[in-house]
Amino acid sequence: MAKNVLTGSRIRARRADLGVKQSALAGRVGISPSYLNLIEHNRRRIGGKLLVALARALETEPMALSEGAEAALVDALREAALERPREGSAENAAMSEAELERVEEFAGRFPGWAALLAETRARVLEAERSVEALSDRLSHDPQLSASLHEMLSSVTAIRSTAAILAETPDLEGDWLARFHRNINDDSARLAESAEGLVRYLDDGGGEEAGAGTPQEEVEAWLGRRGFHLAELEAGEAGESARLLEEARTSGALKGGAAQSMAAARLALYRDDAAALPLAAFAEAAAAAGYDPSLLAAQFDVPLEAVLRRLASLPREGLPGEIGLVSCDGSGTLTFRKPVSGFPMPRFGAACALWPLYTALTRPTLGVRAVVEMAGRSPRRFTAFAMCRPVADMGFGRPQVFEANMLLLDEGFGAAREAGEVLELGSSCRICPREACPARREPSIIGRQE
């Protein structure tokens, strides 16, 4: 339905705000009150000179009457209508289509209710995202699991010692003192574990939420820099050490493990920047349509180096967002540069349908696919994945592989125009696609047909 279908509703609202009678306004613009009544109830189209005359009589601009200010509201309502389950009879489906066609009319006639519905939908979506994140954390967070295990161990030790004291009234003094000391030590350990768990959970709502592992510390630190390190682009000696020292003193990288992982990531970044200079690479990437295979051939570098380099480009000037995710041979995610609309699980396994895992089964062979992430508002991405050995291969030596997957969002165009699309999710626990052949466990959220 065209946007000017609500012009009549806007004319009526403006007239009412000014306190002008319908007959008076009709007289000013030279039409009959009955015709104006049809216009105000959106039963007659309006434009040209009559629209200009009405705008002048109502002391406003013609565009304010023809376009209005509720475009975002109408879009939100339309998205909500599209998300409504279309189950049931053909009659129910036809009713849904009819309701979708009258979204603009509803927003024009009942703007307050429309705004309330749009706001409620936004809150529901935010609540669902919070539930997904909390469920993932409760199910797979290693620090939470370790803290609970420590607390249970302390409680069990205290319970066992207390049972001995209660059931053995004639203990010797030395044994009695030893058991009392054990209870004191175990209770202190229990209190310390409980305090640590409370601090960890309290920190979960802040900016550093989830930075509980060395890998997450590194990703959070890089994320604050947009995953682009301008200091390393010039290749000057000592910049990596300076960055690490700055991160250590500021508390961004607290532990030795995080600092060691960050050092390895910086070394990789420095090598990629030397092989693929920023200015030349950015220009070539734009000319090649951000196709990794073309860029790898042009610069004569491994494809995985191009994937990493594309993910490190500054966001300014790019047509869309770029994400990157890496995994080892076990499928464990070892690096994540997130991209909007493609949630990457913090703990546990990701969706088995990701091209990242397909690449693991085809070492040295590139994988390209257009994927659609499950959700209320599914988004498409063009995925490029490659798996290569990270250690020298030889007879009798274990095979060690790493896979990388680059994600280009719809801003790059290819995902929007694709005919064949691979439907996937983040992880089984929060994926609504119940009929997925790769499902490992039931989902905790509603299903998606």
Does residue 68 or residue 50 have the better pLDDT?
A: 50
Looking at the chain, the whole-number percentage of residues with pLDDT higher than 90 is: 30
Q: What is the largest CA-CA distance in the chain?
A: 111
In this structure, of 70-74, 193-197, 359-363, 438-442, the range with the lowest mean pLDDT score is 70-74
pTM (predicted TM-score): 0.59
Q: At residue 145, does pLDDT exceed 50? A: yes
Query: What would the two tokens of residue 166 be?
Result: 């209660």
| DSSP codes, 159-197 | HHHHHHHHH-TT--HHHHHHHHHHHHHHHHHHHHHHHHH
Give the residue-averaged pLDDT of 213-226: 89
Q: At residue 330, does pLDDT exceed 70? A: yes
| Cβ proximity of 255 and 248 under 8 Å | no
> Within 10 A of 426 (CB to CB), how many other CB atoms are there?
19
Angle, alpha carbons 104-109-111 (nearest 5°): 80
| Cβ proximity of 298 and 284 under 8 Å | yes
Looking at residue 140, its pLDDT comes to 62
Give the residue-averaged pLDDT of 405-419: 79
| Mean pLDDT, rounded, of the chain | 82
CA 280 to chain centroid, in Å, comes to 31
Q: At residue 210, does pLDDT exceed 50? A: no
60 class by beta-carbon count within 10 Å (0-12 exposed, 13-18 middle, 19+ buried)? middle
State pLDDT tens for residues 156-171. Answer: 999 999 998 888 888 8
| Cβ proximity of 335 and 219 under 8 Å | yes
| Cβ proximity of 401 and 385 under 8 Å | no
Distance CA 332, CA 133 (A): 18
Query: Highest-confidence range of 53-62, 208-217, 311-320, by mean pLDDT?
Result: 311-320
DSSP state of 211: -
